[in-house]
Chains A and B, each alone.
Chain A
Amino acid sequence: MKTLVWVEHDGSSVKDATLAVVTAASKLGEVHLLVAGSGVDGVDGVAKEAAQIAGVGKVHVADNAAFGHNLPENIAPLVAELMASHDAFLAPATTTGKNIAPRVAALLDVMQISEILSVEGDKSFTRPIYAGNAIATVESSDAKLVLTVRGTAFDKAATSGGSGTIEAVSAGGDAGLSSFVGAEIAKQDRPELTSAKIIVSGGRALGSSEKYEEVIVPLADKLGAALGASRAAVDAGYVPNDYQVGQTGKIVAPQVYFAIGISGAIQHLAGMKDSKTIVAINKDEDAPIFQVADFGLVADLFSAVPELTGKI
C-alpha cells in the first residue's frame, strides 16, 4: 500500500505530530509525505527535514502562495489529486489535520476513520468513541483510506536516518473561497502540551488566573513541565483556551500528569487518562479524579502545591 502523510509544519520545521503519523503509515506500507506551504526557503527547509525522517520514501513538495495558511479549500483538492496514485491519506489528529482530512475524504467519496489508536490490519483500526469511554474496532470497505492519527497512541518516528527523495508538485492553487486574516498564537517557552513528558494542570478550584500563576506555574517550572487546564479553568478565564485538556481540548499522554484542583469530569478524563502516571491533588476526597489517579493527595492545593514545589 502506498500512503501519503500530511506533514504539519510551521513554515520552518516539521511539527512533532507528524512523526507519530509516519509510524502509523509505515504499518500500512510505503510512506510518502506531502509538504505544502508557501515560500521557497521555508518549504524547502521543511522538505529537507522531512526527507530525513526514518522510513520515508518520496517527499512531495507543493509550494504555492495558496498553501500558506493550510486553508482546506486549497489544500484538499491538492491532496485529492495526489491520492490518484496513493492508497491511504493520513494526517495527525490536530486542528489542522481535522480541518483538512474530512474534506479530502468527501472529495474522494470515502469515509474517514478519525483518531486511530492502532492499526489492526490493512483496513482495520481501533478508535475511541464516547469521549474514550469505549474503543471501537472498525473495518473500512472503501477503496482508499483517509485516517487521522492520535499522536499519543503511536511512537514517534526517528527524525534522522531517512533518505527520502524530494519531488515538486505543481498541482492546485487558490480556490478563491477563503483567505487568512490573522492569528493570535499564545506565547509559550515551555514544552508543547501534546508532546510534554510532564504536565501540570490546574482546575476551577484555583479561583483566579493570579492563583494559577502563583501555584501551578512554579511547580511546572521546577519540573520543566507543560501547563494544562480543565475546561472550567479555561472558561473562567484563568488561562488561554489552548491550555485545555479533554474531549474538546487536547489529548495528552505524558509520563506524569498532575491534576490539581480538577474534579475529573468524563470530558477531562477523555483527554488525559492514557497518561503513564496520574497525580491528583484535591481537597474533596470523593472527587472522581481519585478513581484514575495513581497517587492521590487529599489536601488544600494552596498549601500542598507550594510545599510540593519546595520539596522536589
Chain B
Amino acid sequence: MKILVPVKRVLDYNVKPRVKSDGTGVDLANVKMSMNPFDEIGVEEAIRLKEKGVATEIVAVSVGPQKAQETLRTALAMGADRAILVQTDDAVEPLAIAKILKGIADAEQPGLVILGKQAIDDDNNQTGQMLAALTGWAQGTFASAVNVDGDSVNVTREVDGGLETVKLKLPAIVTTDLRLNEPRYASLPNIMKAKSKPLDTKTPADYGVDTTPRVKVVKVSEPPVRSAGVKVADVDELVAKLKAMGVHS
C-alpha cells in the first residue's frame, strides 16, 4: 500500500518563541525552523512499514511556503520516495489543510495517512481527525503502536489513564504520539540522494480549496509572567514555607 505522510515546517522545538512587540504573532524571522517532531515520527513509522514490506511507496506532503521544500527534502532523506509541496504563503488552518490532504488522498489513494498528533506551533491537534471526517475513514489518534493486519490496522492509543487499542478498517488515518518510535537521522549520502528524488509543486487551488481563515487572530501576547521566587537554604526552611502555605498531611 501507499502511505501518505503530511509534514509541517515549524519553529525548532529548542527555540524559545518570542512574541512580536506589536502583538501580531510570534517572531519567525531568522530563527531555526525544522520538521515538526511528531511528523518526524510519522515519517519514521511509514519507513518502518515499508521496511516490513507492508508499504510500497511513501509520499511526503507539506502545505506551506517555498521553504517547506527543505522539510520535504528531510523526509526524502529519511526514506520517503517522493514529495508534494502545496505552495502558499498564507497561514493555512487545519480545516483547509485537511481539505487539501483530502484532495491528495483522492488522487493518490493511500492505504494509510500518518500525521503527527499536533504541530508544536499552533498546538491545535485537529488536522488528522478532520481529514478522517472528510474522507470518511477511521482514525487512530495518539498512536504508540501501529500493526497492519490484512485489510485492517490495530492502533494502540495513548489515552488519559493508560493505553487503548482500536481496530480500524483500511484505509485509515493515524496520528503519532511521541512514544511510537525514535526517528532516524538522515545520513549524508541519503541527504545527497534526496536532492534528486521527485518533488511536485501544487497550489491549494489545484485541489479547489479556499484557504481563507475562519478564525481571525486578534492579538498574540506574552503569557503572564510568574513573579520571581526565592531559593531556600535548606529543607527546614522549605518545610517552614510549606507549612506557612498550609501544605501538610
Contacts and interface: CB of A to CB of B under 8 A. Distances in A.
B74 to A, nearest CB: 21
Interface stretch (B61-69, B187-195, B219-227): B219-227
Contact-size category for A: 35 or more
B242 A182 contact: no
The 8 closest A-B pairs by CB, nearest first: A102-B129, A106-B133, A106-B130, A102-B126, A177-B138, A185-B162, A294-B229, A111-B214
Interface residues of B, number: 81
Given A128-B223, A130-B26, A130-B120, A296 B141 contact: no
Given A134-B220, A141-B214, A177-B137, A129 B230 contact: no
Given A128-B223, A298-B231, 17 more contacts: A72-B132, A72-B141, A95-B159, A99-B129, A102-B133, A105-B133, A130-B120, A133-B26, A176-B169, A179-B167, A185-B161, A248-B177, A267-B13, A297-B232, A297-B235, A297-B238, A311-B239
A131 B123 contact: yes
A103 B139 contact: yes
9 contacts: A112-B124, A133-B17, A137-B218, A142-B214, A181-B165, A182-B165, A185-B162, A296-B229, A297-B231
| Residue among B94, B120, B168, B214 with most chain A CB within 10 A | B214
A266 interface: yes
A226 interface: no
Interface in A132-183: 132-142, 176-183
A98 B141 CA distance: 9
Contact of B248 (A104, A184, A312): A312
Interface in B122-168: 122-134, 136-139, 141-142, 144, 154, 157-168
A304 interface: yes
Contacts of B95: 105-106, 109-112
A106 B129 contact: yes
B216 interface: yes
A95 B160 contact: yes
Contacts of A294: 226-227, 229-230
Contacts of B218: 124, 137-139
B55 interface: no
A186 interface: yes
A114 B122 CA distance: 9
Contact of B162 (A184, A277, A296): A184
Nearest to B126: A102
Contacts, number: 256
Given A95-B160, A103-B139, A198-B247, A177 B168 contact: yes
A78 interface: no
Interface in B195-231: 213-223, 226-227, 229-231
A115 B124 CA distance: 8
Interface of B: 11, 13, 16-17, 19, 26, 93-95, 98, 117-118, 120-134, 136-139, 141-142, 144, 154, 157-169, 172, 177-179, 213-223, 226-227, 229-232, 234-236, 238-239, 241-243, 245, 247-249
Contacts of B236: 311
B226 A273 contact: yes
Nearest to A306: B235
Given A267-B13, A304-B235, A180 B223 contact: no
Nearest to A132: B223
Contacts of B125: 98, 102, 114
Given A242-B160, A279-B238, A139 B215 contact: yes
Given A111-B215, A178-B168, A278 B229 contact: yes
B112 to A, nearest CB: 14
Contacts of B138: 73, 177-178
A102 B214 contact: no
B123 A290 contact: no
| Residue among A71, A182, A298 with most chain B CB within 10 A | A182
A38 B130 CA distance: 25
B142 A106 contact: no
Contacts of A223: 247-249
